[in-house]
């Protein structure tokens, strides 16, 4: 995390006149950050940077991506009590949000068989890079970080340009280093996209049995085409989509539905 980015987060939390911490006397203290439920750890690096910014001494007991259990002490912080309190909420927010995403991602990965689990751009403005990082730490794929990462032709592109026009325009405009992905809602449109040379075909909001048919038919046209499933996919039905034979399953749920993992900071002053 860049220093300027870190300072923006710190300023947001401290505000203009931090009387809450200002009343704390200058005493030495130590604190443990404790995980209160099982999950996958993410956000540790960011939490460490927060406390390091305030000049505190740190000892971490785990690494990002590690499985953790309720009661585990994630890190120990020592130094000025007020500075520990200044970093507490921001550090816990990083840990809670990112670990929640990593935990949900890991659970989805465990049910997906050989299919790759991927995120979407349904992320919190200003926090996308951290949410995408958490997906990766959970064993998932980050997918596109932004609109410049690949050419993705969606339903509204098709409504304006048609499948043929959109793919033709993409081939002319995009660098050879970028893949062309198209979102379709029928097997027939998937076949058309495969015949026109799309690199990735996303079957969107389709039942698993229809997607299985689509996979067979587009792979017959181009065995190297990547097939993705998206839309309405949850922990409960992810196995059905994996069994349809897709290469990738993308879920907005990884960031939209992830429950924060619970952490607490417990502090003691030096006697």
Binding-site annotation: residue ranges for substrate:
89, 120-122, 144, 154, 183, 204, 230-232, 251-253
Mean pLDDT of the residues in the chain? 92
Q: Report the C-alpha gap between 61 and 74 in whole angstroms.
A: 5
The annotated binding site is made up of: 89, 120-122, 144, 154, 183, 204, 230-232, 251-253
Q: Of 60-64, 79-83, 183-187, 258-262, which gets the smallest average pLDDT?
A: 79-83
How high is the pLDDT of residue 18? 65
State the pLDDT at residue 19.
65
Instruction: For residue 222, count other CB atoms closer than 10 A to its CB.
Output: 15
**Tokens 């050879």 appear where?**
176
Across 116-138, average pLDDT: 94
Per-residue pLDDT band for 25 (boundaries 50, 70, 90) equals confident
233: Cβ–Cβ under 8 A, 6 or more apart, which residues? Answer: 241, 249, 250, 251, 253
Higher pLDDT, 80 or 102: 102
> Between 199 and 173, where is the model more confident?
199
The domain 3-108+259-269 is placed in CATH, from the list 3.90.1170.20, 3.40.1160.10, 3.40.190.10, 2.30.29.30, at 3.90.1170.20
Please identify which of the residues 36, 69, 122, 179 carries the catalytic annotation: 122
**Distances in whole angstroms, Cα of residue 153 to Cα of each of 150, 166, 169, 250, 266:** 10, 7, 10, 16, 50
Residue 20 above 80 pLDDT? no
What pLDDT, on a 0 to 100 scale, did the predictor assign at position 147? 87
Q: Give the start-to-end residue ranges of the domains of the chain.
A: 3-108+259-269, 150-251
122 among known catalytic residues: yes
Q: Are 57 and 79 in contact (CB under 8 A)?
A: yes
Residue 53 tokens read as 């910014």
Architecture of domain 150-251 in this structure:
Alpha-Beta Barrel (3.20)
Count Cβ atoms within 10 A of the Cβ of residue 16 and give its class: 0-12 exposed, 13-18 middle, 19 or more buried. exposed
For the segment 187-196, the average pLDDT, to the nearest whole number, is 95
- Mean pLDDT on 101-125: 94
DSSP codes of every residue in the chain: --HHHHHHHHHHHH-S--HHHHTS-S-EEEEEEEE-S-EE--SHHHHHHHHHHTT-EEEE-S-TT-EE-TT-EEEEEEEEHHHHHHHHHHHHHHHHHHHHHHHHHHHHHHHSTTSEEE--S---TT-HHHHHHHHHHTT-B---SSTTSSEEE-HHHHHHHHHHHHHHHHHHHS-TTS-EEEEESSHHHHHHHHHTT-SEEEEES--HHHHHHHHHHHHHH-TT-EEEEESS--TTTHHHHHHTT-SEEE-THHHHSPPPPPEEEEEEE--
């Amino acid at each position: 995390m860049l220093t300027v980015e870190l300072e923006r987060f710190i300023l947001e939390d401290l505000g203009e006149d931090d009387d809450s911490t200002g009343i704390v006397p200058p005493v030495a203290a130590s604190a443990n950050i404790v995980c209160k439920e099982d999950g996958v750890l993410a956000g540790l690096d960011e939490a460490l940077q927060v406390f390091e910014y305030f000049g505190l001494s740190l000892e971490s007991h785990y690494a990002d991506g590690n499985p953790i259990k309720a009661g585990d002490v994630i890190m120990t912080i020592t130094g000025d009590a007020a500075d520990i309190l200044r970093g507490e909420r921001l550090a816990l927010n990083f840990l809670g949000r990112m670990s929640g995403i990593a935990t949900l991602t890991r659970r989805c990965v465990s049910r997906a068989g050989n299919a790759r689990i991927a995120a979407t751009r349904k992320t919190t403005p200003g926090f996308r890079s951290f949410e995408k990082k958490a997906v990766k730490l959970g064993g998932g794929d980050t997918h596109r970080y932004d609109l410049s990462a690949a050419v993705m032709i969606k339903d509204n592109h098709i409504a304006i340009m048609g499948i043929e026009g959109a793919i033709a325009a993409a081939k002319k405009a995009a660098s050879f280093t970028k893949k062309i992905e198209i979102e379709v809602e029928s097997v027939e449109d998937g076949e058309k996209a495969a015949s026109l040379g799309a690199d990735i075909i996303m079957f969107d909001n389709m039942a698993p049995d229809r997607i299985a048919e689509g996979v067979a038919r587009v792979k017959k046209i181009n065995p190297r085409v990547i097939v993705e499933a998206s839309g309405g996919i949850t922990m409960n039905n992810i196995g059905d989509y994996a069994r349809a034979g897709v290469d990738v399953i993308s879920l907005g749920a990884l960031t939209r539905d992830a429950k924060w993992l619970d952490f607490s900071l417990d502090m003691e002053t030096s006697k």
